[in-house]
Amino acid sequence: MTRGLVLFEDGRWPDLSPLTDLLPVPALAFGASDLASRWRHAVDAPLLSIEARPGAMGVWREAPAPAPSRPGEVEEVLAVNAAVLPGPWLAATAQVPAPALFVCGDRLVAARLGAAAAAPGLGRGDGFAAFLAGLGLPRHPVDARLIAWPWQVVEWNPEAIADDLARVRGAMRGDVHRLAAVYEPERVTVEPGARVDAYAVLDAREGPIHVGADAVVRSHTMVVGPCAVGAGTHLLGGAVGRSTLGPGCRIAGEVDECVWQGWANKRHHGFVGHSVVGAWANLGALTTTSDLKNNYGTVRVHAARREVDSGLVKLGSLIGGGVKTGIGTLLPTGAEIGTGSHLFGGGRYAPKHLPAFSWWDGERLGEYQLENFLATARIAMRRRGTELSPGDETALRALFDATAGERRRG
């Protein structure tokens, strides 16, 4: 039987804010690429559709194109919640007669159903999960790992990188200088167009390393695996370990166990650890995250409109897309910095929670005027040879309006 894959986003995506303020769940960087790519590798079936919020899909420039299929070519659909990670539970679904739903706790994880039965739900975006739940199909519990909170992206990421790259045989296809130090080269892949300069270190003794096409690892940069360096990303000196760095980033200083969406900047010294950094964020010189409390207690985070105990001893910051920090910005343990916020007035800890489009000057909290934010975003994107698209602007304006009440409450 010919099978097709559908990835969907359910109604719990706000729990992953600020990561999902602008991007759909399948687009989140994780492992060696993103959640959508991991599922495309896990399932031997063409991707028929990604069902998520239309506004968020309009922002996701790297969204994979669905595979074309002719009527009747696909007989069965495997629909998967994009927040769920591939695992042994997936094989168990094949033992259950279709049609069927698979659940983990109160979350719909996946569904198997005929292509004709799935067809009326395709194109509903984030309404597809409700469509599936309303079909009245038998429900079967599975033991799946599901990203329910944003800090789980940080917690599970090093393992995911190692899993993704375990299938890749090391190869030096790019330009690796003879004076670069490469430990366990059989676990290191440098793609064509990438460059590793003299006196750079690629240390794969603790996990594999992948350097994407056209990436640059400058002299006096140490990369410790497991680590995935995105296409076109430049590492400009310092130490980067156990992290996923999306495409087009510019990073220097110390970065440890982080996930960076694409096109984010940190060109200077400063420590960012156990954190997520959103797309097009720019962290000024000496911006530093705290990722460990003095009493070694677990870190509490503002999530889903309340304080939640992450259960983690080490957790830095959750930094939304388009955030700008000035020189010397200090971010407290477990900080959540809303999308589009602007922080300056270094030397003092920023508030632990900042709503989207906050303006913090080191003493007072205000609102970052949307038109000013958009003007700066256009300049930043043009510097990288791209433009703020109509989809980007529509999504940003909608987010600004949706979060106005939270900013007024402070």
- Convert the pLDDT of each residue in 148-197 to its tens digit: 999 999 999 999 999 999 988 889 999 999 999 999 999 999 999 999 99
Residue 1 has pLDDT above 80, yes or no: no
152-409 homologous superfamily: Hexapeptide repeat proteins (2.160.10.10)
* Segment 47-84, tens digit of pLDDT: 999 999 999 998 998 888 877 666 568 899 999 999 99
For residue 329, the model assigns a pLDDT of 96
Judge if pTM exceeds 0.85.
yes
| Band of residue 410 on the pLDDT scale cut at 50, 70, 90 | low
Residues of the chain with CATH 3.90.550: 3-148
- The type of residue at 17 is S
Average pLDDT, whole number, for the chain?
95
Residue 408 has pLDDT above 80, yes or no: yes
Residues of the chain with CATH 2.160.10.10: 152-409
Residue 311 has pLDDT above 90, yes or no: yes
The yes or no reply on domain 3-148 and CATH 2.30.30 is no
| C-alpha dihedral (372, 23, 16, 37), degrees to nearest 10 | -150
